[in-house]
Amino acid sequence: MTQEPLRRPEADGDVPDEGDLLARSARDPAAFETLVTRHSVALHGYLTRRAPTAADDLLSEVWLQAYASRRTFDQARGTVRTWLFGVARNVLATHWRRTARERSRTEPEPPGRGPAENDPWHAVDQRLDAAALAPLVRRTLAELPHVERELLLLVAWEQLTPTEAAAVLGIPPGTARSRLHRARGRLREALDTARPSPSPVLRSTGDFA
């Protein structure tokens, strides 16, 4: 009886589990390179849409922090993808706090804005304007609470599921779904006032509403 040769999983097209890759990277740093290849484009897009002039440097910082803290990943709390977006969000928040401190040394704080402001809505609003979204949509997004706006953008721009977006923001999935539903409702109400000419971007993708 002839024994069949053992086959490697990769030969059958199987993709290594990312949690296993992250765990393996503690012993074999080369395993981490696969994660960098898989997720760099998405993470760079996330950063570019929020801090376009600093995205390259911030992406490098994301990977440095992710590598340094790779042993803290808990698969029970979400996927490697959502963990990486959480790292990116923390890096972005640190960047905006640092930017706010530097700006406060030379410019007075606008009314209603604290010195530790780290909400990157100004940069996001500029990106929306460049994408020619309707002013009504920009204004409605700006009026949303920060968490609801970030939920919408994570789902619409980064193509995360509501559960993944919840993990990035550190809130329960049920809370995320209800807040996302409320935010989408506010957007739909705003768009209803502009019909029959809704934003062409929203009409073509349906991501926000």
- Residue range 17-40, pLDDT digits in tens: 899 999 899 888 889 999 999 999
Q: Is residue 80 part of a domain?
A: yes
Look at residues 76, 107, 138 and tell me which one is the last residue of a structural domain.
Answer: 107
**Residue 99 shares a structural domain with residue 156:** no
Q: Say what the pTM is.
A: 0.70
Residue-wise pLDDT for 118-152, tens only, equals: 555 555 655 555 444 557 777 888 889 999 999 99
Residues 156 and 177 in one domain: yes
Name the residue range of residue 23's domain: 17-107
* pLDDT of 171 higher than 80: yes
Tell me: do 149 and 207 sit in the same domain.
Answer: yes
Average pLDDT over residues 146-159: 90
Measured from the Cβ of residue 97, the count of other Cβ atoms closer than 10 Å reads: 14
Domain count, the chain: 2
Same domain, yes or no, for 92 and 166?
A: no
Question: Is 11's pLDDT higher than 60?
Answer: no
Domain CATH code at residue 149: 1.10.10.10
**Which carries the bigger pLDDT value, residue 165 or residue 12?**
165
Q: Quick one: 49 and 99 in the same domain?
A: yes
- Residue 5 forms part of a structural domain: no
Same domain, 94 and 172: no
Question: Does residue 93 contact residue 118 with C-beta atoms inside 8 Å?
Answer: yes
Residue 177 has pLDDT above 90, yes or no: yes
- Check residue 101 and give its pLDDT: 85
- Token look-up 């760099």 returns 40
Instruction: Kindly state whether residues 92 and 37 are assigned to the same domain.
Output: yes
Q: Please indicate, yes or no, whether residues 21 and 63 belong to a single structural domain of this protein.
A: yes
Tokens (6 digits) for 183: 């935010």
